[in-house]
Structure 1
Amino acid sequence: MPILALKIMKPLLLLLSFLWFFSCTGNKNTNTGHGFSQLITCGDEKVAVYEMAPADSLGFVKVWEWTASMSEGLPENFHDYFKTTDECKPIGENQILITSSSGGVALVNRTDKKTVFYAHAPNAHSAEYLPGNKLVVALSTAENGNSIRLYDLDHSDRILFTDSLFSGHGVVWDKENNSLFALGFDQLREYKLEDWDSSQPQLKQVNEWKIPDESGHDLFLTNDRRLLLSTTNSVWQFDIKSSTFSPFPPLEGVHHVKSVNLNTQTGELIYTKGEISWWTHHIYMHLPKKDTLALTNKKIYKVRVM
């Protein structure tokens, strides 16, 4: 080969080798083969994110952790409201919505762990992001609890609207139907947004159904627009179109389910159940093969998926 060609080819080969190296090592393969890549857990004072290893492995590594005391933007006198976290919903890819039965609500950035909204809500058990940068929280049994509350995310700890709901435990937004569903002790409700762009927005109750069992707990909206709801003795599904309840076969008769997540496209089912009082060390997974993830150093109440 001519000397000139060699001089040209050598740098080119080095460049190609450089690019190949970084394509193999600099970009992790995040395709796990599943419909999710991360699990979010809450239960004690910590909210944690675990990332699933690639190649269909059931190995998980903790990649993120939040506590109230480490979070910029959360007043110090609110730290004690987050001793027992009980909700950890992802909002998009960059935020997590946290509630605590100790009385706290927070919207937290993933990147810097900063709290961008906070409120005191006695025995808060779940929350949901609503259109117009608003937030609804379900409050369980407590003084000034037993309700759902509406907030504006631009104004921390300022209540816009409240409605009584005994043992409020779950809230989900159905954007296709423009409806909010709320779960209490023995009833499921449907609300519509009213006067939403005014200074006094409200949630108007339009339907109510008695649930098939007592002590409604978790509420989850599936890809095909069914509501999964857990109770003391089982897990049920509610068909929104027909307004009918029926047992949820995979978890029929399973007691004290605290959180349930279902991907109807992949068949993946991930849930927790109270095994030591209200908490557990285990996350149960049907992928669709059954497996269990044990986190022996953490009290787990709920698990959510990214």
Structure 2
Amino acid sequence: MIKNNKLILNGIILSLPGLLSIIISLMAIPIHLSVAGAENYGNYIIFHLILTISVMFNIGIGKSMVISIGNFPQKNKIIAYQGLKYTLLISLLISSIFILLDLVNGTLFEYFFTSNEIFSYFIICIISTIFYVSLEAILQGNEKYKLLSLYNFLFFSLSLSLPSLSLLYNSEATLDNLLLISTYLKIFTVTAMLILIIFNNLIKLSNSDILINNLKKNSKWLTLNNILVQFYDIFDKYLVKIFLGPIALATYSIPQQLTGKLSIFSKGFSAILLTLLSKKKKK
């Protein structure tokens, strides 16, 4: 009974960011639409929608870290270091590919990014998100659920809603200004997480192959799953943006944004179950 109560409590804690996000979104979206207009909001939201591909680019490192820490809890610091090392390599590779594609064909991303500054913010946010997934895994594997809940709120909910709310104080803010605020919040959150992990001594230099062995088994399936999720959740919005424009996207995406948050409880509990089920000798 005590273990069940703890599971329920931790699940609720991890669901709180989603609940707060719904409340804030109900205020932020109307403000953004009334102050900046539907076209601005459509271009703003497509930026954040495209960022969801960053989870796919993590190639399963985050979830593999959680599983590996559960399998070998006494080596959690070693696994955390290896995960961050692989994350750095992947981040550099992915960002280099995007920059190269933009240099080769400058019109490739014109449907999604209206300026070079916004494309720069996108690259920074891609790297931040790939790192966030791995840093989140370290906290999840070490069962730091309260901290994880706070950082989830900052990185996903607040970085999306705060720029819209800021229009109340600066109605002249451009799309670039709003996305700059989002970018700063994501950088701040990732930096704060990394400092916390270092100061709590949750990483340790090592050449262990525990994580890479897990990645070899799970990475392809986790990545394939993320590709399918990306296609199922986001692909229709890309098509709306390309063929119908940002105003249509704003109208089309708002109901889905709000109803999509109804999965917060299942996601909260699944994060805990992944940690628990990966532990050996556990009922």
Normalized against structure 2, the TM-score is what?
0.27
Structure that is richer in strand per residue:
1
Structure that is richer in helix per residue:
2
Larger CA Rg, structure 1 vs 2: 1
Normalized against structure 1, the TM-score is what?
0.26
With a CA cutoff of 8 Å and minimum separation of 6, indicate the structure with the bigger relative contact order. Answer: 2
